[in-house]
Amino acid sequence: MRKTLTYLLLLAVPLTCMGRPVGFASSRLAALAEAAGLVIPDHPSGAREVFSCVSQGKTVPVAVEYAKGEVTHIGLDLFGEDVRKENALVCHFVERYTLESLLDGPSLHREGNSAGRVVTQGNIFSVLQERPESRSVQISLDGEGMGSVAFAQDSGVPVFSIRFPADIQLLSGKQKDELEKDFLRNVTAERKIKKREVPRNLKRVDRDLYVSENGFFEIEQAQNTAFFRKKGLSYVPLCESAQPVESVMTLLTGFIRKKEYSMQAAFHQYGFKTTEMAVPLDHLIDCCLEEGCTPYVGIESKDGGSVVATLFMVNRSLGYTHTFRMTLDPAILDRAAGVLQARAYLYTPLNPKKS
C-alpha cells in the first residue's frame, strides 16, 4: 500500500523505527534524509517501502530500504525488483542521484570529482509516468571506467539517460572509510562457502599436472593461474609443499576449499588507521569474488623457508583493487589448516585521480 510522505526541504526530522532512532548505512544517506526532511512510519512494513513525495510541484514515488536496523537506501522508485536484484549498485545510484537532483536543498550529488562527470539527458518525470516493472531500461558498465542507464518508450527512443564514471565511491554513495568498514563486517560474517568449478581451459604441463591460465594484471608476474592434479577422472587443486609456488597461486585464486586456512592481517585503512584481525581465507576470497573482483597472484620470493606472495583482487568494472601481501610457511600446504600473515589495502583506485 502506497503511503503519503511530505518532504520539507532543509528541515531535519528524526527518522524512527520501532520506537528507536534508525541508523544510516552512510553519512550521505543521513544528509539526504536531513535535506529532504524525511519522515517515515515507526514500523517499516518491509525491506523496501515506497512513499509519495511532492517535489517541484509534482508527486513522485520515493523508495526507502532498510536492513538490520539501518536505512540502506533512499531514492526515486525507478526500477522493478528483477532489474534491481541484477544491478543493485547501479540502480541504487541512479535512484539516489535523481532524487538528489530534484531537491532544492544542498547539491549532495555534486560532491567529488567523479560526480562532476555525470551527464543526464531527458526528463526524469517522463520515466515516472510508467510503473517500474513496465519500464524499458538498458544498463551498461563498459569495463573501461564508465557506465550508463537509459529508459526508453515503446518506440525505443530514450526519454531519460544518465552516463557516469563507474567509481565505487560515487555509485555506493559511501566514503572510503565507510566502504572499508562494510568490507570488514562482511568478511567476518557467517557465510556458506561456495564451491568453485574446475576451469574448462586446462592445459597439460606434466604427466598428471594441468594449468588454467587467464591473463595477468599490469605485470606478467601477477597472474590469474591455477594448477590441478589429475586423479582418475577428476582434477584436484594442487596443494603441496613440494610445489609451493604453483600451490600458493592455486590457493589464492580460490580453488582450495577443503582446508581451514586463515589470514592474520593488518588492514591499513583511510585516515592512517590499522585494524588487526584474523579472517578465514575462503571468506576473504568469496567476499572479493562477490564484489566482482578477479584474483591475480604474484610470487615475490620463496627463500628463507617462506613464500611471499601478493594477491590483487581487481574490479575493473568499478575501478578499484584490494591488495593483500602475504607470507606463509609452505609446510602448511600439506596440512588441513594453517595461518598466513598479511598486510591488506582495500579499495585502491586503479587510476588514481590527480588533485
Give me the sign of the Cα torsion angle 59, 108, 314, 273.
negative
On the CB side of 141, CA atoms within 13 Å amount to: 19
Quick one: pLDDT at residue 70? 85
The pTM is what? 0.86
Quick one: pLDDT at residue 36? 72
Digit-coded pLDDT (tens) for 104-125: 544 454 555 577 789 999 999 9
Query: For residue 187, how many other CB atoms are within 10 A of its CB?
Result: 22
- Report the C-alpha gap between 152 and 135 in whole angstroms: 7
Residues of the chain with pLDDT under 50: 1-21, 105-107, 109, 353-355
Quick one: pLDDT at residue 215? 96
Q: Which three cell numbers stand for residue 351?
A: 587510476
Digit-coded pLDDT (tens) for 14-54: 333 333 446 888 888 888 887 777 765 566 667 898 888 87
- Report the C-alpha gap between 37 and 69 in whole angstroms: 19
